C-alpha cells in the first residue's frame, strides 16, 4: 500500500514553537501527561425520498482539544480557533480543571512518528465526489428498489462522506497525524399491501473509494436487500414468546455481541468496577468455543484506524480466548491506572470530546461447525438474521434487542418469517450458553455507529453463525 500524505503542523498553519508553548502551559509539575488533538473535518451528505433530493448538506469544522491528566483527574478544554492565544487559553483551562498549579515546562517535539500501517489509501479523495455523482447514485438506488416489487411504496436513501485530518502532539514529544476517509450508503424501503405497512433497511460502507459502491453491484444489492426485507415483513407472523434456543446468523447480528459484551470489556468500566467483567482477567467467562477479538487493523473497514485519537497504533486484541477473559480495551489513562498494555482504543467523536476507551471492529472468530448443522440441531427455536435497536446495562450485563429479520426453526428447518421478536438476556450468561460456532465468520457491511457518554464513533461488528442454547424471546404468541 502507498503511504498516505504526511500530516504535519503546517496543515493547521502552526509552528513548532507555538505547540511547545501551549504544551508547556498545560504540563505543569503535577500533570502526568498532556496532549493536544488537532482536527479538520469536511462532512457531506445527500438524502433522497420519493425520488426527490430532500437534503444536501456540507459542513466544515476545525479545532483542537487540549487535555491534562493528573492522577485520576482529567482536565479538558477545546477551541475552534487555532491561534496561539486560543491554544494558550485552552491549555490553561485544561490544567486548571485538572487542579494543577500554574507553571510552564518546555516541551519539545522530539520524534515525528510515521504511521504504523496504512489501512485506507484512497486514489481519489472523498471531497472530490461531485454532488451530481452522489445524486445519481441515489437515483440508481431508488430505481432498483422500486423495480424489486410493486408493493414498494417509498424509498429513502442517503449517502454521507467524511474527510477527517487529525494530528496528535503530546508531552512525551510525539507528533503523529492521519487522514481518515469514511463513507456510508443507507437505504430504507417502505412496503404496503392491503393496509399492512412494513419497512426494511440495508446499507454499507467503510473507509473506501466512491467506486466501492459500484463494484460487485453493491449499490443495487443494498437496494434489493432493503426491498426484500420490507416485502418479507409483509408476510411475517407474530413472534413466539418464551425461553428457547436461538441461532444468530453471521455478520450484522454481531451487534448483539458488541452491545451485550463488548462495552463491558472497555477499560474505564472495569477500572471503576462497574462492569460485569470487572476483575475477571484469566477466568472463564464464556463457553470454550468462544474467542472474541477487537481488531482496528483490518484494511478499509469502518471501525479501522491507523492510529487511535491519542496517536497510539491500533492493534488486534484478543479479549476472550476459548472462553477465558484475556484483556480489556484501553486508552492511555485507563491503561496507566490499571497497569495493563495500551491497545489503541482511545477514541473521541471530535476535537470537542474527551477520549474514552472504545471498540473498533469487534467480532467472534470462526468455529468448526457447519451452519446447516447448527440449524438442524434446533427442534423448536428462533433464527435471528438481522437486528434493529437495543439497550444494555453495563453493570449487570442485561440487554434487550429487537430482531428486524427473524424466522421460526421447526424440526431443524427454517420456516416462517416472524415480526416483533425481542431477545432478552444477560451478556455474560449468554456467552456461557453458546454451544456451537460456525465456520462462516462474516463482518457487517459497514454501517455501525456506537454511542457512549453522548459520543458517536464508527465501528464494525461480525459473527459466524452461532447457537445459543437458551435466550428469553419476547413476542406476542406463547410458545
pLDDT tens string 212-227: 999 999 999 999 999 9
Mean pLDDT, range 12-16, rounded to an integer: 89
Q: What is the pLDDT of residues 438-454, one digit of tens each?
A: 999 999 999 999 999 99
**Residue among 317, 423, 395, 333 at smallest CA distance from 31:** 333
* Residue closest to 223 by CA, chosen among 132, 161, 133, 146: 146
Q: What's the pLDDT at 111? A: 64
Asked if residue 194 has pLDDT above 60, the reply is yes
- Residue 392 pLDDT class (50, 70, 90 cuts): confident
Q: State residue 193's pLDDT score.
A: 96
Residue-wise pLDDT for 90-122, tens only, equals 999 998 898 766 555 556 666 678 899 999 999
Residue 164 scores a pLDDT above 70: yes
Q: What is the model's pLDDT at position 101?
A: 60
**Across 150-156, average pLDDT:** 97
CA nearest 295: which of 259, 329, 271, 325? 329
What pLDDT does 57 receive? 96
Q: What does the pLDDT average to over 58-67?
A: 97
Residue 172 has pLDDT above 80, yes or no: yes
* Interval 404-418: pLDDT, tens: 999 999 999 999 999
Amino acid 113: pLDDT: 82
Q: What is the mean pLDDT of the chain?
A: 93
pLDDT (average), residues 267-287? 96
Return all residues near 461 (Cβ < 8 A) that are at least 6 apart: 252, 254, 255, 257, 258, 361, 362, 363, 443, 444, 448
Per-residue pLDDT, 87: 94
pLDDT of residue 370: 98
Of 402 and 106, more confident: 402
Position 9 scores a pLDDT of: 85
pLDDT value at 2 more than 50: no
Q: Give the total residue count for the chain.
A: 479
What angle separates helix 131-148 from helix 218-234, to the nearest 10 degrees? 40
Integer angstrom CA distances of residue 279 from 26, 127, 316, 335? 34, 46, 22, 14
Nearest to 396 by CA among 292, 260, 266: 260
Which CATH code is given to the segment(s) 9-234?
3.30.2290.10
Q: Report the percentage of the chain scoring pLDDT > 70.
A: 95
Is a pLDDT exceeding 90 seen at residue 396?
A: no
Residue 1 pLDDT class (50, 70, 90 cuts): very low
For residue 8, what pLDDT is reported? Answer: 81
How high is the pLDDT of residue 100?
Answer: 60
Please report the pLDDT score of residue 154 as a whole number: 97
Range 349-352, long-range pairs (CB < 8 A, 24+ positions): 349/455, 349/456, 349/457, 350/39, 350/41, 350/61, 350/63, 351/37, 351/38, 351/39, 351/61, 351/63, 351/64, 351/65, 351/78, 351/80, 352/63, 352/65, 352/78
Choice among 69-83, 100-114, 239-253, 383-397 with the minimum mean pLDDT: 100-114
pLDDT at 28 over 80: no
**What tens digit of pLDDT does each residue of 323-373 get?**
999 999 999 999 999 999 999 999 999 999 999 999 999 999 999 999 999
- What's the half-sphere exposure (Cβ side, CA atoms, 13 Å) at 281? 15
- Comma-separated ranges of CATH 3.30.2290.10 domains in the chain: 9-234
> How much is the pLDDT for 3?
40
Amino acid at each position: 500500500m502507498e503511504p498516505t500524505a504526511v500530516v504535519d503542523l503546517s496543515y493547521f498553519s502552526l509552528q513548532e514553537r507555538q505547540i511547545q508553548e501551549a504544551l508547556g502551559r498545560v504540563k505543569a509539575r503535577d500533570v502526568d501527561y498532556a496532549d493536544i488533538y488537532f482536527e479538520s473535518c469536511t462532512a457531506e451528505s445527500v438524502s433522497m425520498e420519493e425520488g426527490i433530493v430532500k437534503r444536501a448538506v456540507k459542513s466544515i469544522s476545525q479545532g483542537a482539544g487540549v487535555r491534562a491528566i493528573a492522577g485520576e483527574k482529567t482536565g479538558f478544554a477545546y477551541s475552534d480557533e487555532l491561534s496561539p492565544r486560543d491554544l494558550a487559553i485552552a491549555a490553561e483551562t485544561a490544567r486548571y480543571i485538572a487542579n494543577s498549579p500554574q507553571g510552564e515546562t518546555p516541551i519539545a517535539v522530539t520524534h515525528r512518528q510515521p504511521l504504523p500501517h496504512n489501512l485506507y489509501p484512497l486514489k481519489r479523495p472523498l471531497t472530490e465526489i461531485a454532488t451530481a455523482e452522489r445524486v445519481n447514485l441515489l437515483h440508481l438506488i431508488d430505481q432498483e428498489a422500486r423495480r424489486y416489487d410493486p408493493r414498494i411504496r417509498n424509498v429513502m436513501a442517503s449517502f454521507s462522506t467524511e474527510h477527517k485530518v487529525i494530528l496528535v502532539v503530546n508531552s512525551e514529544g510525539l507528533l503523529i497525524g492521519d487522514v481518515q476517509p469514511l463513507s456510508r450508503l443507507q437505504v430504507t424501503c417502505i412496503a404496503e399491501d392491503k393496509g399492512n405497512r412494513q419497512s426494511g433497511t440495508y446499507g454499507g460502507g467503510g473507509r473506501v473509494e466512491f467506486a466501492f459502491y459500484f463494484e460487485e453491484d453493491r449499490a443495487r444489492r443494498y437496494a434489493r436487500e432493503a426491498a426484500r426485507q420490507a416485502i418479507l415483513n409483509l408476510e411475517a407472523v407474530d413472534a413466539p414468546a418464551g425461553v428457547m434456543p436461538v441461532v444468530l446468523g453471521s455478520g450484522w447480528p454481531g451487534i448483539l455481541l458488541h452491545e451485550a459484551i463488548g462495552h463491558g470489556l472497555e477499560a474505564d468500566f472495569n477500572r471503576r468496577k462497574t462492569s460485569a467483567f470487572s476483575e475477571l482477567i484469566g477466568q472463564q467467562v464464556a463457553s470454550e468455543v468462544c474467542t472474541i477479538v477487537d481488531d482496528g487493523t483490518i484494511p478499509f473497514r469502518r471501525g479501522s484506524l491507523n492510529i487511535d485519537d491519542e496517536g497510539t497504533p491500533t492493534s488486534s486484541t484478543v479479549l476472550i480466548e476459548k472462553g477465558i477473559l484475556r484483556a480489556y480495551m484501553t486508552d492511555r489513562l485507563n491503561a496507566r491506572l490499571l497497569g495493563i498494555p495500551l491497545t489503541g482504543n482511545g477514541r473521541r467523536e471530535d476535537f470537542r470530546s474527551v477520549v474514552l476507551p472504545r471498540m473498533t471492529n469487534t467480532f467472534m472468530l470462526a468455529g468448526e461447525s457447519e451452519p446447516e448443522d447448527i440449524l438442524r440441531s434446533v427442534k423448536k427455536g428462533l433464527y435471528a438474521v438481522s437486528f434493529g435497536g437495543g439497550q444494555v446495562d453495563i453493570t449487570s450485563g442485561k440487554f434487550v434487542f429487537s430482531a428486524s429479520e427473524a424466522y421460526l426453526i421447526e424440526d431443524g428447518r427454517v420456516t416462517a418469517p416472524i415480526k416483533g421478536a425481542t431477545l432478552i438476556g444477560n451478556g455474560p450468561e449468554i456467552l456461557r450458553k453458546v454451544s456451537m460456532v460456525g465456520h462462516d465468520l462474516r463482518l457487517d457491511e459497514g454501517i455501525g455507529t456506537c454511542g457512549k457518554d453522548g459520543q458517536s464513533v464508527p465501528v464494525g461488528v461480525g459473527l459466524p453463525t452461532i447457537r445459543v442454547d437458551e435466550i428469553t424471546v419476547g413476542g406476542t404468541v406463547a410458545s
